[in-house]
Structure 1
Amino acid sequence: MKHFFFVLFVFLLGNCYSQASRDREKILLEIAAIKKNAERTAKIKDYVDNHTFENENHFFRDAESLFNGFYSKKDTLNTLRIFNLLGLRWVLNKKMDSILAVKPIEPFLKKDTPLDIQAGAQLIFYDYLRSQGTKIDEARRKSKKSLELFEKLNDSSYSDWATLHGYIVVDGAQANDFSSIMEHAFAALALLRYQKDENRLVDIQGILATVYSLNYLFEPAKILRDEKIAYAEEIKDYQNLIIENLNAALDEKLQNHYEAQKLHLDKAVAYAEVYNNAHFKFICYHSYLVYASQQEQTENSQKYYDLISALYPQFEGSPFHNILYLEAQAYYQYGLGNLHKAELLALEKLKFAETFNSKEIIQESHELLLLIFEASGQIDKANVQENFVLNYLNNTKEEALKNQLIYYQTIYETEKRDLKLEAQQKNIALLKSRERVRSQWYLISALLLLGIFGTILLIRSRNYARKKQKMQESFTKDLLKTQENEKARIASELHDSVGQKLLMLKNSLVSSEKREQKEIDLVQETIQEVREMSHNLHPFQFEKLGLTKSLKNMVSTFQKNSNVFYSEALEAKEGLISKAKEIYIFRMLQECITNVEKHANATACNLSSEEKKDAVIFTLKDNGNGFVLAEEGEALGGLGMRTLKERAQFIGAILDIKSIPNKGTSITIKVPKNEPNTSHS
C-alpha cells in the first residue's frame, strides 16, 4: 500500500512538472509572436513579477532550452519563432558563432514560411554579419532581403522593422555615408513614433542630429536634439543631457552664436556636477576652458584649468584624455599670452593627434596653431596652417552641400509619398460616404419632392448665370489669345529688328578706328537686355524646343541665378498636349516659379510632370512660407492667381492649389491629353 501511494505521488508530481513546462512553452511562443519590442519587454516583466520565471535570465534560459528541443524535433516553425526571439540577444552576447556552427538555421527558411518569421530571421543574419565587420556585401544582401519582406507585410507594429532601419542608419553614420542614411532614418523615426518606443526613438534622433550638424544642417539638428534633451530631462538621463548640450554648444559656436554656446556649456557643467562622474566632468571642463580662452575670459579660463588639472591624474594613461589635456593646456597658455608655451603644447597635441587618424582632431590642432602663430606674428607659419584649415573646410563644405541636397530631396520625396497616402485615405473616406448616401436615398428622394418648385426657379437662375459666364469666358479667351499673339509679335520685332540694328551698331563701333570701349559695352548691355525682354515676352525657339525642354531651360536658368535649390523631374513625353495649349502651360508655370522666387522665401523647389491615362499632370512644390487659402481651397486674392485660373479654364485644365503656412505650397495643373486623332501641328 505504501508503495502504491509513493508511485501515485511521483506520478502527480511529474504531471504537475510537465504541465508547468507546457505552460512556460506556451508563454514563450506567445511572447515570441508579439510585434512590439516594448510590449514584449513588459510581458516578460509581468511573468517575472508573478513568479512564472525567477528573473529575466531564467526566461531566456528556458527559451534556449525550448529552441534546442524544437530544433532536435525538426519543428521548423517553432524553431524559427524562438530563434527570432533570441537571435539579436545572441549576436549582442557573441554567442551566434557557436550556435550556428551546431544548428544551421538558413535551411529552415522556405517559401511557405510566414513572411514575418522570414523577415526577422534575415534581420538577425544581417546583424550577425555586420557585427563581424568582414562580410559587408553579404550583410547588405541580408538587410535588403529583410526590408523587402517587411515591406510586403506593411505592418508598422513590427519593432524589428524599425530595428533594421536603425541599424542601417548607424552603419551609414559610422561610414560617413550620408546618402545611405536619409531614407532609412525617416522610416525608422516614423515607425518608432507609431510604436511609441521613446528610448530607441531618441537614440536615432541623437545620431541624426550629429550627422546633420556635421553637414551644417543646424536647424533640423536643433529640432531633433531639443526633443532628445527634453526626453532626457524627463527621465533624468544625465549622460545624454551632458553629451547633447556639449554637441549643441559646438553647433552654436560654428554659427558664431557665442551667448547660446555659453548657455549650453553652463548646462553641461551643471549636469556633470550632479552626475558626479570624473570622465564627464573632464570633457565638460575641457570644453568650457577652450571657450573661455577663445573669448578672453581669464577668470573662467583659470577656474576650469584648475578643475581639469585636478582631475587629469585619474586619466594619465588614457590617450583620449591626454589629447584633450594637451589642448586645454595650450589654450590656457594662449589665453595668458604665453605663446611659446602654447605653441609647444599645440605641436605636441598635433603630433599625438596624427596617430589617431582622425581628420577632425587633426583639423582642430591646426586651427589652434593658426591662432597661436597669428598672435605671435609668425606670418609664414600662420599661412601654412590657414591653408590647411581652409582646404579642410572647403572639402567639408563641398561634401556637406551634396548631402544637404540629398536631405532636401529626401524630404520632398517623403512628403510626396505622404501626400499619396493621404489621397488614398481620402478616396477610402469618399467611398464610405457614397455608401452612406445610397443607404439614405429614399429619405433624400422624399425631401427632393418637397423642393421641386424651388429647384425650377433655381434652374432658371443658373441658366442666366451660365450664359453670363460663357460670355465672360469667351471674352477671356479672346483676350488671352490677343495678349499671346501680341507678345510673340513684339518679341519678334525686338529680336529681328531692334536686336539686329543694335548688333550692326556694335560691329560698326568695334571696326571703327576710334574705339570707345564704354560705348561698346553699353551697346552690348542693351543687346542683352533686348534679348532678355524678347525671351520673357515669348520663349526663344519655343516652337522648336517644345514644352518640356523649354521648362527644363527655365528651371536651369532660375537655378543658376537664385539661392533657392531648383530641381525638376519632367518625365512626360512631348506631343501629349496640343501645341496651342503648350504656351499657356509654360506661362502658368513661369508665373508660379516667379512667385516662389519673389514671395515664398523657400530653400528648395521642384517642378515635375507625370503622364496619366487621359491627362498630363504638372506639379510645382516648394518648402517656403505658404499662405492661408480662402474657403473652398481657392487662393485668388492677387491678380497673378486670377490669371492662373483663367488660363487653366481657357485650356480646359484643372488647377489645384494646396498651401500650409510655414510648410510650403503645392500647385498642380492637370491638362487633358490630345484626342487620338488630334493634330499636333
Structure 2
Amino acid sequence: MYIWTMPFRYFYSIIIGLALLNTFAFGFQKQANTPTTEQIENWAHLIQEDDTPDSVKTQLYLQLINFYESSEEYENMARQAIDFFHYPTFLDSSNWVKKSFLEKALSYRNQIEDSLLLGNLELKIAGAWFNLQEFDSAISHYTRALEHLDENDSLYIADTYFFRGQAEDYKGNMLEAMQDYQIARDIYESQGDEDFANYAKGGMAILFSKYGIYEPAQDIREELVEFYKTREIEGDLGVQLYNMAETYRKMGKQNLQLQKLQELEALIPFEPEDFYLEALTYFSLSRHFGEKNDIEYQTQYFRKGEEVKDKVPQNWNENGAYLITKGLLEIKLGNLVEGKAIAQQLLDLSATKENMDHRIGALELLEEAYEKSGQTDEALNALRQLTSYKDSIFEANQATSFAYYQTLYETEKKEREILRKNLELEDLQTESRFRIQVFLGIILVLIVGGIIFFLSLNLKNTRKAKKLQEEFSQELLKIQEEERKRISKDLHDGLGQSLLLIKNKVALNQPENAGEMLDTAISELRSIARSLHPMQLEKLGLAQALTQLLDQIDSETDIFVSHEIAPLSKTLDKNVELQLYRIAQESINNILKHSEAKAMRVILETREDQIELSIEDNGKGFDFSEKYQDFHSLGLKTLKERTASIKGSMKVNSEKGKGTKLSFLINA
C-alpha cells in the first residue's frame, strides 16, 4: 500500500456511505419564505464556526445552495456547491450528496458564463466520483473539465491531468496514467511550481512500483527525498520514505525496507502531526518483524499503531495494510481462527476493490494459517491460488512494462527525428540570423560612427570656442590690469610727488589749513592708486594685502569688520593672487554699496591643495533665483569671470533678510 501526496486546493476527503437521504431532502426543500440578507449572512457565519455540528453545517450549505438556485443566481450556486465539496464532513454518504449538488449546479451550465467555473464544477464532480471509487465516471468528468479550461488556467489544467492520472492508475491503465502524470509534471515545472511537480513525480513512482518497474520508481523517490531534506519540507519527506520502504518490501530487500522505516520512525516526533502516516509506519514495522518471526517487536509496534489509529477518522476494518498486520499477528500468536477470519475478510475486500497487494497479502495469510492448523489441502489450495495470481500479475506486469518501454522507445525515436529536423531548421535559422546580424551590424557601425564623428566634431568646435572665450577673457583682464598698473604708477610717481612738494612749500609759509587739505588730497590720490592696482599686493603678498584692505575699511567706515586671514603655505601665481584680491575687493564694494550690513567677515584659509576665500555679511540679502541674470547690478558677472579665469568655483548663498555669503574655491 502506498500513500499519496495531493495538492491542498483539491484534497478529496474519502468518506464512507451510500446516501444522506434526510439531509438531501432537507437541502432541496423550498423555503416557504425567501430568506433575508441577514439570514444568508448568519448561515455563512455559522458554517465558519468550529462549534457548529457537521449535520447543521451540511444543512446550512444545502439551504444556501437551494436559495441561490431559487434566486436564479446560478454562478453563486455553483461556487457554494464547490465550497460544500471542500467541506471535510465526516457524516455518512456525504460524497453522494456533494456529487448531487455539483451535478445540479452543472445542469445550469447554459446560464454560467465563467468557463473556469464550469471547468471547476466538472473537476469537483470527477473528484466526487473518484471518492466513490467510480473511476470510469471520474475519468470522463476530468476529460470534460479540460474542455472548459483554457491556456490561462494552467494550474487547473495540470491538476486535472494529475487527478485523471490517479483515476487511470486505479483503473489499471498504466500508459494513460503515466502520460497524464508527465503532462501534469511538465506544466507545473513550466509554472515554477516545484511542490506540485513533485506530487506528479510521486504519482509516477507509485505507478512504476505497482507494475514492477522498481528502479525508476526508487530513483524518483531518492530525488524527492533529497529535495525535501534540502528544503526542510516536513510531511512529504515522511510519505516518500514510507513508499520507498513499501517498494523495498516488494523487491524482497527487507534490510533496506527496515532502514527506511526506521528513518521514518525517527522523523515522527519532528514532523507535523500525521496520525495516519504514523499508524501505517508502526503497522509496517510490525509486519516486517512478524515476517522475521520476531514476535516481541511485532507485538510492540502493532500496539503503537493501535494507539495512534483511533485518532484517524477512518474505517480501519476496510484498510488492507491494517488487516494484513493484524491477521499476521494473530497467526504468529497462535490465534489461527481469528487470523483466518481476518484473511478471509481481506480477501473479500480485495475482490470488491480490485486491490492486487491486498489479495496477495490475504492469500499469504490464509496459506500460513491453514498450514499451521494442519489443514494441508486448504493450505495447498491457497498456495496454488497465490502462485497463480502472482504469475498472472507477473505476466500482466511484463506485458505492461513491455508496452511502456516500447512506447517510450517509439516516443524517443520520434523525438530524435523531430530533434534532427529542428537542428536542421535551427542551422538554417542560425545562418539567416547571422547574415541579418552582420548586415545590421554594418549599418549600426556606420550609424554609430557617423554619430561619434558628428559629436566629436561638435565637441571639438565647442571646446575651441570655449578656449577662445577663456583666452579672450583672460587677455582682457590682463590688459585691464596692465592699464591700471600704468595709471597707478603715473599717479603715484607723478602727481603724488608734485603734491608732496607743494605741501612742503606751503608748509614753510604756514598758510592756514593748507597742509591738512593737501594731506587729504594725497590720501585720496593714493586710495585711487590702490584701487587701480594694489602695489602692496606685490610687496606684501595676498594675505597681508587683504589684511591691510580690511583694516582700512574698518577704520574708514561704520561697518564692523572681522577677518581670519591665514598665511598661505604655498606661493601662488601672481595672476591668481591678483584675481583673488580683486574678487575680495569687488565683493566688499558690493557689501558697502548694496547690503546695508552692520558687520562682515572675511576668511582666507588653505585646505589641502585648495584655497577657500569666503566673504559673509549680515545685510538684507537677496533672492538669488530672481537676480541670477542681473549680473551687472550685483557685480556677479565680473566675479564669475575672474573665478573662471583662474579655474576656480564660485558659490552664492543668500536669502532675503538673512544676509549673503560668497565662497570661492581655488586649486593651489
TM-score range, shorter chain: 0.3 to 0.5
Q: What is the TM-score normalised by the length of structure 1?
A: 0.44
